[in-house]
């Protein structure tokens, strides 16, 4: 990925330091500071307060953010802060599911996921749907929860997806559009649906509709997913027995200063660290796909 811009925020700079540590084995506050100082040639230089002073203060905040990430990832963070928190080292030997997920999510944030999403013949945005579905199932309780990947990556047409989802849920009655016009639904902003079933398989259970986004241009989509409108528009019964929840998953590690505002718009909000927190157990085939995509994407980005 390219170096951050002079206007980069703390969470963006933290991603860059992680990237440096991954590429070079480690990244110190000193080397990161030298990169930040080269980003802008227009120095402020006013007495003791110049751009290098501001950059040093900014890097202090970046390493505080890295420490926060280490804690929030609940043991799945594939980096380690050393030398009193001034050096970030990549833990290349960490190959647990959570660490695999973190590396994938870091690259899925900082690479161009419109023109550079295909690596190892796999689409990174489709892998994000699979990962989001698996992690949501873990969050609801992997022992009982079930999940269905609804996005465009799944085989079959839109009506088939709706029929299959209703069949799996035991609710909704199947596909029946409310309007007679031509269907232009695509995936109706849904990437995955997860739920906690009861043994009686009767209607009335906790159901979560999830939307997943890679990259950094996701803010304009926060309110797109409307589960109740989806049921009313596309299913025979027009509703679930219990109103469903909505969730929004992103590959980016969200700026902490915007957490309340953003999560209020997105519903149940899972950023990179929250996803990794519940990525401790993933299907082995999904892990292998994530590894293959990440390795190919890493090689591509270091050319």
Interhelix angle for 97-110 vs 284-301, to 10°? 40
Bridge-based pairing of strands 207-213 and 192-195 is antiparallel
Q: Which residue shows structure tokens 């027995």?
A: 241
**Residue 143: C-alpha distances to residues 82, 118, 244, 281 (Å):** 37, 33, 21, 11
Q: Whole-angstrom distance between the N-terminal and C-terminal Cα of the chain?
A: 10
Supply 279's token pair: 């990525």
Is 50 exceeded by the pLDDT of residue 21? yes
DSSP state of 45: -
Q: 192-239, pLDDT tens digit by residue?
A: 999 999 999 999 999 999 999 999 999 999 999 999 999 999 999 999
pLDDT score, position 115: 92
pTM of the shown model: 0.92
Is 60 exceeded by the pLDDT of residue 159? yes
Supply 229's token pair: 């409108």
Least confident of 140-144, 179-183, 229-233, 246-250: 179-183
Q: 70-81, pLDDT tens digit by residue?
A: 999 999 999 999
249: left (phi over 0), alpha (psi -120 to 50) or beta: beta
3-state secondary structure 275-296: HHHCCCCCCHHHHHHHHHHHHH
**How many helices (H) does the chain have, and how many strands (E)?**
10, 10
Alpha helices in 170-250 (DSSP H): 227-234
Alpha helices in 73-206 (DSSP H): 97-110, 124-141, 158-169
DSSP state of 260: H
Which residue(s) pair with 90 in the sheet?
79
**Residue 9: C-alpha distances to residues 84, 237, 239 (Å):** 23, 46, 42
């Amino acid at each position: 990925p390219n170096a951050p811009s002079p206007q980069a925020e703390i969470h963006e700079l933290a991603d860059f330091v992680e990237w440096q540590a991954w590429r070079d084995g480690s990244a110190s506050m000193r080397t990161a500071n030298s990169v930040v100082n080269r980003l802008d040639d227009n120095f402020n230089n006013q007495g003791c307060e110049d751009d290098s002073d501001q950059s040093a203060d900014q890097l202090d905040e970046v390493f505080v953010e890295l420490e926060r990430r280490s804690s929030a990832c609940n043991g799945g963070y594939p980096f380690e802060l050393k030398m009193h928190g001034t050096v970030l080292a990549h833990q290349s030997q960490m190959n647990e599911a959570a660490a695999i997920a973190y590396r994938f999510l870091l690259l899925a944030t900082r690479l161009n996921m419109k023109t550079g999403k295909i690596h190892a013949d796999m689409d990174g945005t489709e892998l994000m749907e699979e990962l989001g579905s698996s992690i949501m199932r873990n969050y609801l309780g992997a022992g009982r929860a079930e999940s269905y990947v609804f996005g465009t990556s799944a085989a079959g047409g839109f009506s088939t997806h709706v029929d299959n989802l209703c069949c799996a849920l035991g609710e909704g009655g199947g596909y029946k559009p409310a309007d007679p016009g031509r269907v232009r639904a695509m995936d109706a902003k849904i990437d995955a649906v997860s739920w906690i079933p009861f043994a009686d398989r009767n209607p009335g259970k906790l159901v979560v509709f999830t939307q997943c986004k890679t990259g950094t241009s996701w803010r304009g989509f926060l309110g797109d997913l409307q589960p109740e409108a989806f049921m009313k528009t596309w299913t025979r019964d027009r509703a679930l027995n219990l109103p469903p929840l909505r969730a929004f998953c992103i590959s980016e590690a969200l700026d902490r200063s915007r957490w309340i505002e953003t999560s209020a718009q997105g519903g149940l909000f899972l950023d990179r660290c929250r996803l990794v927190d519940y990525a401790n157990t993933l299907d082995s085939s999904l892990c292998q796909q994530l590894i293959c995509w990440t390795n190919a994407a890493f090689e591509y980005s270091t050319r």
